Amino acid sequence: MDLDYTEPEEEFRRRLRAWLADVLPKLPDPPDPADWPGRRVYDCGWQRMLYDAGYAGLHWPEGAGGQGATPTQHLIFLEETERAGAPYVGANFVGLLHAGPTIAAEGDPGQRARWLPPILRGDEVWCQGFSEPEAGSDLASLRTRAARDGDSYVVTGSKIWTSHAEVADWCELLVRTAPVGDEAPKHRGISWLAMPMDAPGVTVRPLRTLAGTAEFAEVFLDEVRVPVANRIGAENDGWRVTMVTLSFERGTAFVGEVVACRRVLEALAREARANGRWDDPVLRRRLGRLAAEFAALWRLTQWNVSEAQRTGGVPGTGGSVFKLRYSQVRQELYDAAAEVLGAGALDAGHAWVADRLSSLSYTIAAGTSQIQHNIVAERILGLPKGR
């Protein structure tokens, strides 16, 4: 596979760089990281700028409201926006990287027309309602019930670690529409719904993280009515649709963060040279190995994105390989940052310290590393399932 850039692709890069150089200095100062209502306004404002300039949903199919760009153009966009210090997707994470691609792949024409344009414009924010108090890694054990009542489902249950629920308009919600039987596996009987967060019976309680922010919440559902028309895919086929969502979450959602981590690594080297820690050969070798790790992850990213495009736009099991290694290397990066900072690693206000705390969640979020090991073993290596 030729992973070099062509002249038209480099021309796309030059145009993008020129646009970023023009608009980024005009942006207002970002809000406090803990101010999620303020961050929603800021993040959605940036998303609208991308939309107006023709960069929103760059890699989405044109029929889904995107630009139909090539995988390589998508990667160039991620490279250049990260290197320029452009705003991250932030509050738009679930809509742009989970729910939107899932609806584009699995929704009917009416559903795509209803939900995808507002996501791309930054008009509507989504949250992810998958995990429950007793159904995290074992997601198929979820208990939130959805009983059919005419043209609606009546939903009762609770979700936890619901990303961006505090500021969301919609929730990608997994529910049980059929009970678990003695002979039926528990992943059957699950459906994927788009639930309006302002529906009667929805209660949101923000959860404050170790880093002091509240990007997660508990969500309690008390006989919430969700139209049957909001179901993505067939009733009781939600587990298959969920695998599509998770393939996006693990395969492409963290792509931009690889570029960001490489930028942090360069900054670590500069800081180490400035404060004298660069004289430590062990630290230099550590940073050099991390540089090689992230370079390899970027090449894997290129392969995964290209493979997804070749096979219809949905990332495959290679995303689990990426997610497994990226989660670990990100933690190693910020452990190295603590070594470079020395006593400064105790300053909770330092961005690298906050990111180090956040990195601890990456081996759990989007499927634990244990789950990713199982996927790689069973679906890639063909090993038998454990008993």
Catalytically active residues, by annotation: 249
Phi, psi torsion values for 296, nearest 5 degrees? -65, -40
What CA–CA distance (Å, rounded) separates 29 from 146? 43
Give the separation between CA 132 and CA 149, rounded to whole angstroms.
24
Nearest-angstrom CA–CA distance, 311 and 43: 31
Q: Give the Cα separation of 312 and 290 in Å (integer).
A: 33
Residue 254 C-alpha from the chain's centroid: 6
Cα–Cα distance measured from residue 323 to residue 261, given in angstroms and rounded to the nearest whole number: 14
Strand 145-149 and strand 152-159: the pairing is antiparallel
CA distance 311 to 300: 16
Tokens for 126, please give them: 């989504």
